[in-house]
A and B are shown apart, each in its own frame.
Chain A
Amino acid sequence: MREAVLAVTSNPLQRIPGVAIMLLLLVAVFGAVAPGFMSEVNIANVLVQSTLLLMLSLPMTLIIMTEGLDLSMGAVLTLTSLMVAIVSVATGSMLLGFAAAVAVGLIFGVANGCLVAALGIPPFVATLGTLGMAQGLALIVSDGQSVVGIPHSVSEIYSAAPFGIPVPIVLAILAYLLFHGLLYRTRFGAYVFALGGNREALTYAGLSPTRLLISVYALGGAMAGIAGLLMTARMNAGHPTAGLGLEFDAIAAVAVGGTSFERGNGWLGGTALGVLAVGVLRNGLNLLALPSSIQVASIGALVIIALFLDGFRSRS
């Protein structure tokens, strides 16, 4: 598998991606100790719920490959899901709500890109700022209240299952295929590798790193818009703070999946596995009746371990 070559070293023991081992371990542990973990219903549940995270983690992979970070994704997701709710309630149209969400997501994505690429503001500060802005806007447009009365056409997105496969899974597979194609089969994808690995090579080739970088962040914003539709469909409501903090899970999934922060290397397959790992971790801890706080702490620990291992590997 060509992508796998990019992520592993020549040491045979390290040829198996670390994230796969972690995922297997998590599944094994929770299968043993968590009641009901291995049931068909639960596994289907984990998969469906992971789709939302995948929508965010895929573009986050690209952003991290360019040595950047997007801390605002969770807040933008909150805002876009509210847009879906508000617009679809007001107009009765799921499509208009969807369009509004993607538009808002794009605006924030382009804003992030401009701040980072054109103004030169460090990504974590720029996106921390836009996080605050998106968070504030979410509170304002919702007036602090949940938005209910979502048209059936929206919530159907989450519950429908043509041919027995839930729509979210279909969307996830489509998204993965799209990003896979984008990263490994288009010029844009090749340039994303260059943005992280050797930005000057682009300038020598007569290309504009600034425009490319803005596009990468814009893509993140657009995906946050699409994810907004999914989230509103799932909750059957628009909530002013749901989605805040999801960027952390996305970053964790990418880091655990093996994409490093510093070398212009990225593995989408790893991100997908990382998304599953995070999903399994949350699900397992849920079944063990451990609160969200512990889940978050564990994910945090997982990220630190992944970063440490990444640094350790690259040095050996």
Chain B
Amino acid sequence: MTDITKQAFAPARAFMSDDLLQVFYRLAAALLICLALAILSDSFLNLGNILNVLRQASLLFFIASGLTLVVLTAGLDLSVGANVALSACLAGTVIHQTGSPALGVLAALATGGIIGLLNGLMVTALRIPSFIATYGMLWVLNGLTYWYMAGEIIHGFPAAFRQIGSGYLFGLPIPVYLLLIFLSIGTIFAQRTIWGQEIYAIGANPVAARLSGIPLSRRLLLVYAVSGTMAGLASIIFLARLNSAEADIGESLTLPAIAAVLIGGTSLFGGVGTVFGTFVGALILTLVLNGMNLLSVNASWQPLVTGVIVILAVWLDIKARRRGE
């Protein structure tokens, strides 16, 4: 039982809400990193580089945005990377076979969504802890993707379709516009719909949420389905950007996605975090990796650095919770 007297002496909340403050700190951090990189490297402030960073951050954000919702409920979806891979390969095939990018998009979204639903079912109906369920799903998807592609690469998509990933509009890469759209949708969903509120309530205290009349299983299913569908969406943009699809494109995506969510201030323990925060997290991670590239650091260091960042972010999260108790 917590000591009420101790809590009474805790400082009152600042005029800015807690969430906003956290995002503000992180934006400041991102800015500092930009500053440091600008000093350390001549090529950082190059327009091409900045647009590239924005584009990379957008790609990362698409995957991480759906994942944010899952983490908000104190869950985890380790299968997102593999989801992107399978969805991309299936969508690529569909576009080639039918010549219709629209059908390809539908295929990707459907694949992602179904995978998400399956994850959700494992968690709610089979009561398998989310990290195990999605870990198993990760390997199943990996296997299916490699088998399906049989070592081949699909490439060459219609030019109009490729615009989604590689095109520009008014000087900005199209993915950035898509980013803004989904950032808005995501933020509106999380902060301005009742489902979003219920998700935060579930993350803060799932038992109390259930006893307050929130349909726990249905909402969790929704959250995993959304995460899966967003992975499906991300696969389209990858497809358009890379102009190809092969089985291994998902492998290096899961860890950075989780990192983006955690850096952005979303707590692994649920109930705290924002979609915008995830965007800032994606930005910070992309900046760090971009900086490493510019400074000619061996690319092999990237998974290492990402791993360290993930652990640091979780550690800070745990410290923050201990302080708050």
Contacts and interface: CB of A to CB of B under 8 A. Distances in A.
B143 A293 contact: yes
Interface in A235-275: 245, 248, 251, 261
A290 B146 CA distance: 11
Given A125-B268, A291-B150, A294-B147, A300 B137 contact: yes
Contact of A129 (B122, B131, B310): B310
B311 A121 contact: yes
Given A119-B315, A132-B306, A133-B307, A293 B145 contact: yes
B303 A297 contact: no
B142 A293 contact: yes
Contacts of B305: 136
Interface string A282-316: 00000000111111111111011001100100000
Contacts of A139: 298, 300, 303
B127 interface: yes
A130 interface: yes
A45 B136 CA distance: 27
A81 B261 CA distance: 33
A135 B144 CA distance: 24
Contact of A124 (B131, B146, B150, B247): B131
A193 B74 CA distance: 27
Nearest to B301: A136
Interface in B115-129: 122, 126-129
Interface string B121-164: 01000111101110111111111111100100000000000000
A192 to B, nearest CB: 20
Contact of A304 (B122, B127, B302): B122
A129 B307 contact: yes
Contact of B126 (A69, A126, A301, A311): A311
Contacts of B76: 124
Contact of B147 (A125, A126, A297, A304): A297
Nearest to A141: B300
A126 B126 CA distance: 25
A294 B307 CA distance: 29
B307 A128 contact: yes
Contacts of B126: 307-308, 311
B28 interface: no
User: Which of B127, B310, B311 neighbours the largest number of chain A CB atoms within 10 Å of its CB?
Assistant: B311
Interface in A83-128: 115, 119-122, 124-126, 128
* Chain A interface residue number, banded: 35 or more
Most chain A CB within 10 A, of B122, B258, B310, is at: B310
Interface residues of B, number: 43
A129 B259 CA distance: 10
Contacts of B34: none
Interface string B68-103: 000000001010000000000000000000000000
B255 A132 contact: yes
B304 interface: yes
B308 interface: yes
Interface string B288-316: 00000000001011111111101100110
Given A136-B301, A311-B128, A293 B307 contact: no
B318 interface: yes
Interface string B104-118: 000000000000000
Given A121-B315, A132-B304, A296 B268 contact: no
A115 B268 contact: no
Contact of A132 (B78, B136, B140, B310): B310
Interface in A21-72: 69, 71
Contacts of A125: 268, 310-311, 314
B310 A261 contact: no
Nearest to A125: B314
Nearest to A305: B136
Contacts of A299: 139, 143
A131 interface: yes
Contacts of B307: 128-133, 135-136
Nearest to A262: B129
A130 B314 CA distance: 13
Contacts of A121: 311, 314-315, 318
B242 to A, nearest CB: 20
A293 B146 contact: yes
A245 B248 CA distance: 14
A286 B93 CA distance: 27
B303 A136 contact: yes
A106 B138 CA distance: 28
Contacts of B310: 125, 128-129, 132
A108 B145 CA distance: 31
B303 A304 contact: no
- Residue picked from A261, A293, A307, most chain B C-beta under 10 Å: A293
Contacts of B138: 300
A121 B310 CA distance: 11
Interface in A120-173: 120-122, 124-126, 128-133, 135-137, 139-140, 144
A85 B145 CA distance: 32
Lowest 3 A-B CB distances belong to which pairs?
A132-B307, A297-B143, A136-B304
8 contacts: A129-B314, A131-B307, A132-B306, A132-B307, A135-B307, A245-B139, A293-B247, A308-B128
Interface of B: 76, 78, 122, 126-129, 131-133, 135-147, 150, 247, 255, 258, 268, 298, 300-308, 310-311, 314-315, 318
Given A119-B318, A129-B311, A304-B136, 5 more contacts: A121-B314, A129-B314, A133-B308, A140-B301, A297-B142
Interface of A: 69, 71, 115, 119-122, 124-126, 128-133, 135-137, 139-140, 144, 245, 248, 251, 261, 290-301, 303-304, 307-308, 311
